[in-house]
């Protein structure tokens, strides 16, 4: 089990595709809670998600994500992205194994870039606010869980620092990051989540696609594949990890 956990946590989630990718969709927190006192947590390479059922139909969520933990801070060229999200939602059974879930929440984060091109140093940073609503349908059994979710996300960039920023005209596809300061971006992000394994510990896979609704320019990642480990148990019931 230790070897499996190490392999899963060492799997990269392909967070960025280029150094100036301003928007990367957050890993979707899909708790699949079933009753009061359920706890659900998923750990991936750079993301931690948790959820707790405060009743038989209401759940609370918390997620944190960063791509800067394992980076060398002395690198001349680097990019970092961090975000923390909180949410709450409603879940209810449709049939014995089928559930409807809807969660909504908000988050705060930051993006930063540093580049050294032809002995010139460029730095850029901006804070961001995320807002989302996320309905889903899930099929849940003891050993296999499947969910299809569609998340509508709004993103606002603010508190920009571009005092040492320049546009790298030598890049294949140069983009002026200062353009992201004014628009409010809206994305529709369908995702498929699969968990399989033990009743309390499962391998978790998520495939997500991100579609931009408004036509404002932004460098972004439009798809993600994430692999991790999911833990699920109820604090009021006996459980075993054997």
Task: Give residue-wise pLDDT tens across range 87-136.
Answer: 999 999 999 899 999 999 999 999 998 876 655 557 889 999 999 999 99
Q: Are the C-beta atoms of 94 and 103 separated by less than 8 Å?
A: no
Query: How much is the pLDDT for 70?
Result: 47
Distance CA 140, CA 145 (A): 4
| Residue range 207-214: mean pLDDT, rounded | 95
Enumerate domains of the chain plus CATH numbers. Answer: 2-231 (2.40.128)
Q: Are the C-beta atoms of 162 and 122 separated by less than 8 Å?
A: no
Q: List pLDDT tens digits, range 33-68.
A: 999 999 999 999 889 999 999 999 999 999 999 985
pTM given for the model = 0.84
Point out the least confidently predicted range of 16-25, 203-212, 213-222: 16-25
DSSP string, 18-56: STT--B-PPPP------STTEEEEEEESSEEEEEEESSS
């Amino acid at each position: 089990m230790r070897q499996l956990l190490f392999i899963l946590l060492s799997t990269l989630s392909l967070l960025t595709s280029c150094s100036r990718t301003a928007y990367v969709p957050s890993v979707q927190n899909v708790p699949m809670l079933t009753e009061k006192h359920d706890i659900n947590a998923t750990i991936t390479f750079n993301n931690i998600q948790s959820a707790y059922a405060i009743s038989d139909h209401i759940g609370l969520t918390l997620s944190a994500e960063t791509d800067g933990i394992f980076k060398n801070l002395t690198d001349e060229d680097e990019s970092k992205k961090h975000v923390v999200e909180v949410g709450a939602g409603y879940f209810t059974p449709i049939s014995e194994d089928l559930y409807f879930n809807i969660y909504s929440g908000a988050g705060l984060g930051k993006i930063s870039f540093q580049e050294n091109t032809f002995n010139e140093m460029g730095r850029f940073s901006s804070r961001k606010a995320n807002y989302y609503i996320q309905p889903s349908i899930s099929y849940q059994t003891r050993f296999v869980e499947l969910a299809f979710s569609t998340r509508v996300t709004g993103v606002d960039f603010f508190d920009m620092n571009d005092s040492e920023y320049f546009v790298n005209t030598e890049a294949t596809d140069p983009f002026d990051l200062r353009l992201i300061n004014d628009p409010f971006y809206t994305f529709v992000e369908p995702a498929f989540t699969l968990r399989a394994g033990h009743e309390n510990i499962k391998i978790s896979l998520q495939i997500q696609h991100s579609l931009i609704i408004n036509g404002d320019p932004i460098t972004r990642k439009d798809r993600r594949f994430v692999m991790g480990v999911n833990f699920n148990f109820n604090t009021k019931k006996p459980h075993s990890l054997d």
